[in-house]
Amino acid sequence: MKVDILLGLQWGDEGKGKVVDVLTPRYDMVARFQGGPNAGHTLEFDGRKVVLRSIPSGVFQGNINIVGNGVVLDPVLFAGEARELLETGSDLKSILKISKKAHLILPTHRLLDAAGEKAKGKDKIGTTGKGIGPTYTDKTSRNGLRLGDVLEPDFDKRFNAAVERHLTMLARLDATPDKAVLDELTARWLEAVAFIRSNFEIIDSEHYVNKALAAGKTMLCEGAQGTMLDVDFGSYPFVTSSNTISAGACTGLGIAPNKINDVYGIFKAYCTRVGSGPFPTELFDETGAEIRRIGHEFGAVTGRERRCGWIDLVALRYAIMINGVTKLIMMKSDVLDGFPTIKACTAYEIDGVQTPDFPYSIDDTDRIRPIYTELPGWTTDLTKATSEADFPKEFKDYIAFLERELGVPVCIVSVGPDRKQTIELKK
């Protein structure tokens, strides 16, 4: 029995999509367990670049891919993404299966997301605007619609009732949509639902997965967002609305904790964040701008500039603890090529007192002073490296330093966006 999980340890965009694609041939199945089209997972191979939002990143290797019950699905965005892949000759219809229990994002959820953000004013979260918060809110308040519901005879009635409820909420926020606009959005949404029904298998994924595991199949669970965006353990309230942590794979797929084997924790050699919220090691200077430029740190979903900073080992240690990470994967190492010095935050000083532990809140960034260790940089072009033998001494020292500080081995290092620019370390 083998279930491994791969998830982000920072604020998302660590490079999950790339590595899931690389690891896929080692498993029978790949499954997304939470989040929705707020995710943007980028894959590059054979001169092609693809950004996936709702579809798992294992669809290019012929394996079975599953959209789990913990995912929230926007039929319009999903159908658009699926159509694009089908046009390029993908065998998506035969390999992709979707959970009946995945919750549906309605057009009015997106309107509520936008209206909610507007009402928050300067305190807005900076969401991706995809209706994620309102959809998970409906799920936990037991008002949601699930994909399996579209197969029921009273679906139209339930859909209309949900829309009416949302319109009442929108009116309270002074955000009543134009009727013609809403009618158009609804028509497109229903068309997309029909497309999904007629082209994809909508299944009891918890039964499917557990039967496959019992028959000796293996599965890689793909996380979206990152641990610092987890609704319980992230930098609340500047988080997403799902459990992005390893426990989320159990609830988001219906697999028991004792089935989990390895937890791959993935992080960038530095740190980024998109949207609002605290970020203790954020750089506002030329170095931050340089990292953004070299790392092309612009959001895959919204195109927004990603905020950049040095690696934060206080937050990483916390993420490793919460997730039970057994193997680390370091991404975008090449982006640090040429920096004379690299900094790593090893502790926070809060109100003058040093602590290695991640605190209850990091909201008041003025009170938190990151304590840095400086390490020498390297001048080698890491994008050309094909094995550990090509690593300069300073880079090897950086990896060894991180392993000492974090207490978990780094097993894979990524040195460029392409599938091939991935180096497995011999341990």
Angle between helices 75-87 and 179-199 (to 10 degrees): 50
Euclidean distance between CA atoms 319 and 229, whole angstroms: 11
Residue 417 near ligand GDP by CB under 6 A? yes
Q: Pick the stretch among 14-22, 83-91, 175-183, 363-371 that binds ligand GDP (CB under 6 A).
A: 14-22
Specify whether 204 is catalytic: no
List the x/- string, 240-279, binding to ligand GDP by CB under 6 A: ----------------------------------------
Residue 291 binds to ligand GDP (criterion: CB under 6 A): no
Beta strands in 164-257 (DSSP E): 201-203, 218-222
**Given 4, 13, 138, 418, the catalytic residue:** 13
Question: Which of ligand IMO, ligand GDP, Mg ion, none interacts with 130 (beta carbon under 5 to 8 A by kind)?
Answer: ligand IMO
Map the footprint of ligand GDP across residues 43-72, applying CB under 6 A: 44
Q: Scanning residues 169 to 208, which ones bind ligand GDP (CB under 6 A)?
A: none
Catalytic-residue membership of 178: no
Stretch that binds ligand GDP, among 91-99, 121-129, 313-321, 414-422 (CB under 6 A): 414-422
Out of ligand IMO, Mg ion, ligand GDP, none, what residue 104 binds, judged by CB under 5 to 8 A for its kind, is none
Distance CA 296, CA 277 (A): 21
> What CA–CA distance (Å, rounded) separates 105 from 37?
10
- Candidates 19-27, 65-73, 191-199, 221-229: pick the segment binding ligand IMO (CB under 6 A): 221-229
Beta bridge partners of 35: 71
Residue 96 interacts with ligand GDP (CB under 6 A)? no
Residues 322 to 361: which contact ligand GDP by CB under 6 A?
331-332, 334-335
> Considering only residues 73, 106, 415, 423, which one is a binding residue for ligand GDP as defined by CB under 6 A?
415
CB of residue 229 vs ligand GDP: minimum separation in angstroms? Answer: 11
Query: CA neighbours within 13 Å on the CB side: how many for 317?
Result: 19
Q: How far is CA 314 from CA 1, 43, 171, 233, in A?
A: 33, 29, 43, 14
Contact residues toward Mg ion (CB under 5 A) are 13, 40, 300
**Would you say 420 and 385 are in contact if contact means Cβ atoms under 8 Å apart?**
no
- Distance between CA atoms of residues 50 and 224, nearest Å: 16
Number of neighbours of residue 412 by Cβ within 10 angstroms: 18
Q: Name residues contacting ligand IMO, limited to 45-104 (CB under 6 A).
A: none
Whole-number Å distance between alpha carbons of 137 and 120: 17
**Which window, 11-19, 84-92, 284-292, 365-373, contacts ligand IMO (CB under 6 A)?**
11-19
Question: CB of 244 within 8 A of CB of 7?
Answer: yes
| Cα gap 330→282, rounded to integer Å | 19
Least Å distance, CB 18 to ligand GDP, is 4
Q: Which stretch binds ligand IMO (CB under 6 A): 38-46, 89-97, 262-270, 399-407?
A: 38-46
From the list 370, 310, 320, the residue with the least C-alpha distance to 346 is 370
Any contact of residue 15 with ligand GDP (CB under 6 A)?
A: yes
Strand order across the beta sheet in which 410-414 lies: 201-203, 96-99, 64-67, 29-32, 218-222, 2-8, 260-268, 327-331, 410-414, 422-424
Task: Report long-range pairs for 169-172 (Cβ below 8 Å, ≥24 apart).
Answer: 169/112, 170/108, 170/111, 170/112, 170/115
Contact between 112 and ligand IMO per CB under 6 A: no
What is the distance between the alpha carbons of residues 399 and 394, in angstroms, rounded to a whole number? 9
**Please, what is the minimum distance in Å from the beta carbon of residue 9 to ligand GDP?**
11
Footprint on this chain of ligand IMO (rule: CB under 6 A):
8, 11-13, 35, 38-41, 125-128, 130, 132-133, 224-226, 229, 240-241, 274-275, 300
Footprint on this chain of ligand GDP (rule: CB under 6 A):
8, 12-18, 39-42, 44, 296, 300, 331-332, 334-335, 414-417
Which residues form the catalytic set?
A: 13, 41
